[in-house]
Amino acid sequence: TNRFQYFTFLFIVVIVGNGAVGKSSMIQRFCKGTYTRDYKKTIGVDFLEREIEVDGEDVRLMLWDTAGQEEFDAITAAYYRGAHACVLAYSATDRDSFDAIPSWKLKVENECGEIPTVLVQNKMDLVDQCVIDPDEAERLGRALGCKLLRTSVKEDVGVMSVFRHLASRCLHEM
Ligand code: GDP
């Protein structure tokens, strides 16, 4: 008899960064295909997932949304712990969120060690409000050893690339 086995790879992705950079929106966009300007978060931790095909493999990505609990290290650290990949997110319109990226990288590294990580500049649709110099963003990416990608979760630009990139790296670095 023929016996077939099918595998789905499963990776957990954490999205970290300051409040209001668009982390929850990115998870909703990727997992549900929706975007809401005034998306009401429930305090607590939400868990969403989506399966995609990457490099000929079925990959299920599971995402923790540690909604609005950025300041509570004790809570969030527990969710970083099992992660296979990380999105470091900041907003093009928020200088503080950009400056905070190295410390977010450290927090994740402390719990997970070196995992595939991508630096994401969100809200690229707000061109006229952008406060981040493109060269500076590239430099930060190089300094942290992360690829820099730009997204507009609102306009659905670049979001899929973020997760495809991470899934592919997870597959190849297993
Ligand atoms: P979080 O606190 O990092 O999870 O951020 P949210 O997902 O709650 O987003 C904060 C606000 O930014 C919300 O009003 C979102 O609708 C808005 N937002 C998220 N992504 C984008 C984007 O790409 N462009 C614009 N213009 N607004 C965005």
Residue type, 122: N
d(CA 7, CA 77): 29
Nearest CA to ligand 1 atom 13: 37
Residue type, 160: M
Model confidence pLDDT, tens digit, residues 119-141? 999 999 999 999 999 999 999 99
Partners of 26 in the β-ladder:
none
Strands (E), 36-155: 46-54, 57-65, 85-91, 117-122, 147-150
Residues with CB under 6 A from ligand 1: 19-25, 37, 122-123, 125-126, 152-154
For the CA of 68, the closest atom of ligand 1 is 2
d(CA 30, CA 47): 12
Nearest CA to ligand 1 atom 26: 123
Q: How much distance in Å is there from the Cα of 119 to the middle of ligand 1?
A: 16
d(CA 59, CA 7): 9
User: Do the beta carbons of residue 116 and residue 173 sit within 8 Å?
Assistant: yes
Model confidence pLDDT, tens digit, residues 36-70? 887 666 666 778 999 999 999 999 999 988 766 77
With tokens 């990115």, the residue in question is 26
Model confidence pLDDT, tens digit, residues 139-173? 999 999 999 999 999 999 999 999 999 999 999 99
**pLDDT for the residue numbered 86:** 96
Strands 117-122 and 46-54: what pairing?
A: unpaired
Reported ipTM: 0.99
Helix 159-172 to helix 23-32 angle (10° resolution) is 80
Residue type, 31: C
- Please check the confidence at residue 26 and state whether its pLDDT lies above 80: yes
**pLDDT for the residue numbered 5:** 64
Average pLDDT, the chain: 91
For the CA of 155, the closest atom of ligand 1 is 23
Q: In testing the pocket of ligand 1, which one of 15, 23, 25, 125 has its CB within 8 Å of the most ligand atoms?
A: 25
- Please check the confidence at residue 1 and state whether its pLDDT lies above 70: no
Q: In testing the pocket of ligand 1, which one of 124, 153, 157, 162 has its CB within 8 Å of the most ligand atoms?
A: 153
